[in-house]
Amino acid sequence: MNTSSTSLMKLETPAAVIDTSRMHRNIQRMQTRMDALGVRFRPHAKTSKCSQVVRAQIAAGASGITVSTLKEAAHFFDDGITDILYGVGMVANKLPQALALRRRGCDLKIVTDSVDSARAIVAFGAENGEVFEVWIEIDTDGHRSGIRPDEPALIDVATVLHEGGARLGGVMTHAGSSYEFDTPETLAAMAEQERSGCVRAADRLREAGLPCPVVSVGSTPTALSANHLQGVTEVRAGVYVFFDLVMHNVGVCSTEDIALSVITTVIGHQADKGWAIVDAGWMAMSRDRGTQNQKRDFGYGQVCGVDGAVIPGYILRGANQEHGILSRADATDTDIARRFPIGTRLRILPNHACATGAQFPSYQALAEEGEITEWRRLHGS
């Protein structure tokens, strides 16, 4: 047993483990690619919600961060990061929180995709003597929020912001539907659709005499698949820092790149069913079953040895609140009690790193030489 495995044997289970060597390799891979494409990189902190991880991303060359909640924004601003994009559509009742952060010196950017929201932002700004920087969200794939690049509402929203005294900072988009593809050709096509749609929206604003300094695109699959990013100023991506089984199925990483796992202990068996019972249920892995609609379904996660090596054929087939059901994916292993005796330590690779990380108040950061350090994460929203 190597030093790393020995260290992991001492942890209480279940526990979320970061393989820091893999994490740093993932960070460098993305940053090197963004540098080669000639764009700024603004990582999404919602994946890790962890100061040590975000500091590593900044140290590698990232410029600012993206967050999904204002609680995240406050946390990372307190940690010394000032350039923050709150990448979720702004609603009126959250404007006081945004104002408080800006008054403290946070260079917080906010997002809108509607005239009503834009009007609320400029009215609140006028009442409080604050010039908010606002980006308009663009829908480039029909996946979630945003205004379509050629929609008349784009100019309407921009005009309300610009004439109302806000700072029109630019446009942003997220091609979330890229998670549905799994070939280099389709991923490259989606990356180009994302790029061209957002650039088209920026061009329309400029043609209308409106400012648009920032053109921000991004998802992990498109960031790693784009052939060029002409007209784009920055890219955002999040899950790349850990990767997960959904990203493995998409085709942008291997299982050897997945830096987050959950260490668990075998606590029992149902030998006639070919089951080993472990102490990592959905409260550890999350309920995310993101791989079930992909070509390969990993159940609730891929089973690995305590050393992190994949054990082919074995997955976490099922999960109750605190119990996980480990079995072969394609057969009944009646010898499972001998193969995985009670007390065996295993690591489970997650379907969705963001969701699995959210189940834990901290990570156990495993260094290459085997040292483990606790890294606190921002728990909850």
- Between CA 205 and CA 209 the distance in angstroms is 7
pLDDT number for residue 143: 86
Task: Give the pLDDT confidence of 58-77 residue by residue, as tens digits.
Answer: 999 999 999 999 999 999 99
Determine the residue type at 363. Answer: Y
Determine the residue type at 164. Answer: G
Domain 3-15+259-376 shares a fold with domain 38-240: no
Task: Give the pLDDT confidence of 274-325 residue by residue, as tens digits.
Answer: 999 999 999 999 999 999 999 999 999 999 999 999 999 999 999 999 999 9
pLDDT number for residue 381: 62
pLDDT number for residue 7: 86
Domain residue ranges in the chain: 3-15+259-376, 38-240
- Written as six digits, the tokens of 66 are 């993206």
Determine the residue type at 199. Answer: V
- Between CA 3 and CA 52 the distance in angstroms is 23
Which stretches of the chain are assigned E, i.e. beta strand?
15-19, 40-41, 65-67, 83-89, 107-112, 133-138, 167-173, 214-217, 234-235, 260-270, 275-278, 302-305, 310-319, 324-328, 345-349, 362-366, 372-376
- Between CA 201 and CA 166 the distance in angstroms is 19
Main-chain phi, psi angles of 9, to 5 degrees? -65, -20
Chain-wide mean pLDDT for the chain?
Answer: 96
Pick the CATH number of 3-15+259-376 from 2.40.37.20, 3.40.980.10, 3.90.1200.10, 3.90.1150.10: 2.40.37.20
- Written as six digits, the tokens of 176 are 């979330």
Task: Give the pLDDT confidence of 132-171 residue by residue, as tens digits.
Answer: 999 999 999 998 899 999 999 999 999 999 999 999 999 9
Reported as a pLDDT band with limits 50, 70 and 90, residue 379 is confident
Nearest of 154, 145, 142, 140 to residue 193 by alpha carbon: 140
Q: In terms of DSSP bridges, do strands 40-41 and 107-112 run parallel, antiparallel, or are they unpaired? A: unpaired
pLDDT number for residue 321: 96
CA dihedral of residues 317, 306, 331, 324 (deg, nearest 10) = -20
Task: Give the pLDDT confidence of 253-271 residue by residue, as tens digits.
Answer: 999 999 999 999 999 999 9
Residue in the block written with tokens 């089973």: 303
Classify domain 38-240 by CATH number.
Answer: 3.20.20.10
- Written as six digits, the tokens of 47 are 């994946």
